[in-house]
Amino acid sequence: MTTRAGAVFKAWACISFLLLTCGNAVWSDEKLAFSADKGKIDARKAAPLVGKVNFANISSAEYHLCVKAYDGAWRTFLQNACHTGMASVNPNKLPSGKKYWTFPAAGGIDSSPANYMGTIYVGSDDHNVYAVDENTGKMIWHKELGDKIKSSPTVGDDYILIGCEDKKLYKLNRKTGNIEWTYAAEDRISAPPVVFDEDVYAGSWDGNLYKINKNNGQLIWKFKTNGRITSAVAVLPTVVVLTSHDGFVYALAPSDGHELWQFKTGNKVYSSPLIIETTVYLGSWDRNFYAIDLTSGKAKWKFACSESFSISPVGDGNHIYIGNDDLKIYCLSAASGGVIWKTKLNSPVPLLASSPALAQGMLYVGAPDTNLYAIDTRNGAVKWKFKTQRPIIGSPAVTRMGICVGSQDGNLYMVN
């Protein structure tokens, strides 16, 4: 007979395994260091501000340009290349936690869905990328790749970009699913790719960040860190911000990938960086959440918590929303890091994997207790919960029809 403690331990072990194989939660003790076109570096030493980028000229205008480029849909992980997680298109009516439709895949869905032109795109453990009608939940097409798909898609007018556990980055035709090109890394790609202009950035378990030409799949440059990369980079026209399981945050020049600055945390970083204006926000497994000045790489403030930070933050300019592995969601002041409110999630498993999404004054976040939570951003009150059959690892996407999220139970849900 299984005891309650045993059941909790087994559930925790299951989530730990899932975190090893998806999105922003993979770790390594690899010792690798390379800066593209610059030879070997010691990533444990402080790096000066170098290169062609004049950080004094970085302004909030770049941030707004980047976010605006993703208006009108939820085309990538956390909506845009800065990862604010804020919907630019809201549901037709405020969701109340009711199931609108369910699409069954043949394997668990850790991939975070993307939405564009009335279609939902998502990957699955059954090796398939699916295109699903946003209104009906009916499959439009599917394409089988070479292994499980933990990565989340980025979608454009004529393409889908997605990583795979077979160590490849794929570009698919958005309308047919046909493969247009692949790029082979040295290890699996579970990080969501990010597109800016004609280039795509994708991190790999091999420790490399790859910059690849979106049109032909040719490598432009790569930058190697001391650990696996499982998070999405944040991109502005003049800087790329990268996190790694080596515990560092890197700012790179988009032109050639040379290092501009680095910031050291005390442990692995699973979080994708969030850029708002000229500040970078992220959490670390050292139990601290950081606000870092984008121009200098220096900490503005940090917020200490009782457990590690495993998921990515989102924000609306004045507030930052972040989950901690103490199973609480925190609303912090973007300016100071002060706690405005905190809300406890009723999960038996002490790890979070699903990063939140923001829309219409509500925060939507999945949890290992199998529920999708809707939380009022004004005071942290839980307005409703939608229960799936297994843990939710991927992050929700906001669409006109409601909130779309996958579950380890193998279903893609539209909740409104």
77-81, 200-204, 331-335, 343-347: segment of lowest average pLDDT? 343-347
Query: Considering the entire predicted model, what is its pTM?
Result: 0.88
Q: Which residues pair with 294 in a beta bridge?
A: none
List, for residues 265-275, the tens digit of each pLDDT value.
999 999 999 99
What pLDDT was estimated at residue 2?
Answer: 40
The mean pLDDT of 72-93, rounded to a whole number, is 95
List, for residues 202-225, the tens digit of each pLDDT value.
999 999 999 999 999 999 999 999
**Closest Cα partner for 380 from 301, 313, 322?**
322
Round to the nearest angstrom and report the end-to-end CA distance of the chain.
39
38-42, 43-47, 53-57, 148-152: segment of lowest average pLDDT? 38-42
| Residue 55 DSSP symbol | G
Task: Please report the domains of the chain, with CATH numbers, ordered by start residue.
Answer: 4-415 (2.130.10.10)
290 CB-near residues (< 8 Å, 6+ apart): 249, 263, 265, 280, 281, 282, 283, 284, 299, 301, 302
**Closest Cα partner for 393 from 381, 379, 410, 378?**
410
| 116 CB-contact burial (10 Å; exposed 0-12 / middle 13-18 / buried 19+) | buried
Residue 33 scores a pLDDT above 60: no
What pLDDT was estimated at residue 55?
Answer: 56
Residue 94 scores a pLDDT above 80: yes
